[in-house]
């Protein structure tokens, strides 16, 4: 059985926050942000938009693109680090919004979440338990931002992307590589709000309910593990980077992407980049990029594609697949 992507969809909020807008909030400017990150603007969810709302919009588009009835979906997996609630799962809320009967659960692997969720969805189909799986990456990162912290607030944005996985005639999933290194958990963390540290007045005053990130360490981590993970899936298929038609990396920082392109001796135009428009949307960045690459005709049937994520956990991973549409 070959298992691949039947349809894609994405959604980003209407509100645009530019670098010039941020310069009015923190000590920064457009040139400083652009040269260091490649980001020009990002999208911010409205007050009445939560992660499940963004996820639902992307899900509807993916189901429509797949050309299937929504009731054919057997399982919904949502990759997110910004769920609507601790419980119920965001996936359960999406299931209700879709009005279908399906299993549903969330995966928490931060910026690598979609890669984990894609592999999980593939495994459920491969095992014969389900036939069609809706995999979503969705984030409202603006809700966990300290807007006085220049080191984080300039980087992140909100958005969602989704794919429908199912049996395909040609191509599809080829190889996967998933890793976690919890020893680096403190480098990217929201300290308060869980069972380790509950939300207290002190936690709020110390801004411990916001994302805290050691940018320097995360950058070093990314440029180290990115090639390691890509090498792993390439070796599984006994191919090289030259055989890949398009790399779709997590959209974190243009300098990371440029470093990896140089490491594999590949032209930068073989790496899909849209972080200039959306910033770092964490678990949503890869599925948004897949959908945009498809809509821009950057993907042709039979193309070999590698997606790679890295982020909080610390986690990282890659998937190699052939485009089936």
Instruction: Report the pLDDT value the prediction gives residue 219, as an integer from 0 to 100.
Output: 95
Q: Residues 57, 174, 253, 280: which is the catalytic one? A: 280
pLDDT of residue 325: 87
pLDDT at residue 174 greater than cutoff 90: yes
pLDDT at 254: 97
Q: What is the pLDDT of residue 183?
A: 97
Active-site residue (options: 111, 153, 177, 253) = 111
Structural contact between residues 108 and 78, judged by C-beta atoms closer than 8 angstroms: no
Looking at the chain, the whole-number percentage of residues with pLDDT higher than 90 is 99
Residue 68 has pLDDT above 90, yes or no: yes
pLDDT attached to residue 294? 98
- pLDDT tens string 134-158: 999 999 999 999 999 999 999 999 9
Q: Is 250 a known active-site residue?
A: yes
Boundaries of every domain in the chain:
2-170, 174-322
Fold match flag (2-170 vs 174-322): yes
The percent of residues above 70 in pLDDT, for the chain, comes to 100
**pLDDT confidence bin for 29, thresholds 50/70/90:** very high
Structure tokens, 104: 């549903």
| Mean pLDDT along residues 26-33 | 96
Q: Which architecture, in CATH terms, is 174-322?
A: 3-Layer(aba) Sandwich (3.40)
Is 253 an active-site residue? no
Please indicate whether residue 29 is annotated as part of the active site: no
pLDDT of residue 315: 98
Mean pLDDT on 15-21: 98
From 57, 174, 250, 253, active-site residue: 250
Per residue in 200-245, pLDDT tens?
999 999 999 999 999 999 999 999 999 999 999 999 999 999 999 9
**Does the pLDDT at position 121 exceed 90?**
yes
CATH architecture for segment(s) 2-170: 3-Layer(aba) Sandwich (3.40)
Of 304, 6, 2, nearest in space to 126 by CA: 2
Read off the pLDDT of residues 208-218 as tens digits, 9 standing for 90 and up.
Answer: 999 999 999 99
pLDDT in tens, 36-67: 999 999 999 999 999 999 999 999 999 999 99
């Amino acid at each position: 059985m070959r298992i691949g992507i039947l349809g894609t969809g994405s959604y980003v909020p209407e509100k645009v926050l530019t670098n010039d807008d941020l310069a009015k909030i923190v000590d920064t400017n457009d040139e400083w942000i652009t040269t260091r990150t490649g980001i020009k603007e990002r999208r911010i969810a409205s007050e009445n938009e939560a992660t499940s709302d963004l996820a639902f919009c992307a899900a509807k588009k993916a189901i429509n693109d797949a050309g299937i009835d929504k009731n054919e979906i057997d399982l919904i997996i949502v990759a997110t680090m910004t769920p609507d609630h601790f419980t119920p799962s965001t996936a359960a809320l999406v299931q209700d919004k879709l009005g279908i009967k399906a299993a549903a659960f969330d995966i928490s692997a931060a910026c690598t979440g979609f890669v984990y969720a894609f592999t999980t969805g593939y495994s459920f189909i491969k095992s014969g338990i389900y036939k069609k799986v809706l995999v979503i990456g969705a984030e409202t990162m603006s809700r966990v931002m300290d807007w006085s912290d220049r080191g984080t607030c300039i980087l992140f944005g909100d958005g969602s992307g989704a794919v429908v996985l199912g049996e395909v005639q040609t191509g599809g999933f080829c190889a996967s590589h998933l890793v976690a290194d919890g020893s680096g958990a403190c480098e990217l963390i929201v300290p308060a709000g869980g069972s380790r540290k509950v939300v207290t007045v002190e936690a709020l005053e110390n801004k411990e309910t916001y994302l805290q990130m050691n940018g320097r360490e995360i950058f070093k981590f990314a440029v180290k593990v990115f090639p390691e993970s890509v090498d792993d899936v390439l070796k599984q298929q006994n191919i090289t980077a030259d055989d890949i038609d398009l790399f779709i990396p997590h959209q974190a920082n243009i300098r990371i992407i440029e470093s990896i392109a140089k490491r594999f001796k590949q032209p930068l135009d073989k790496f899909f980049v849209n972080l200039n428009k959306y910033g770092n949307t964490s678990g949503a960045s890869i599925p948004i990029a897949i959908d945009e690459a498809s809509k821009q005709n950057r993907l042709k049937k039979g193309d070999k594609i590698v997606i790679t994520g890295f982020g909080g956990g610390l986690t990282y991973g890659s998937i190699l697949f052939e485009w089936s549409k």
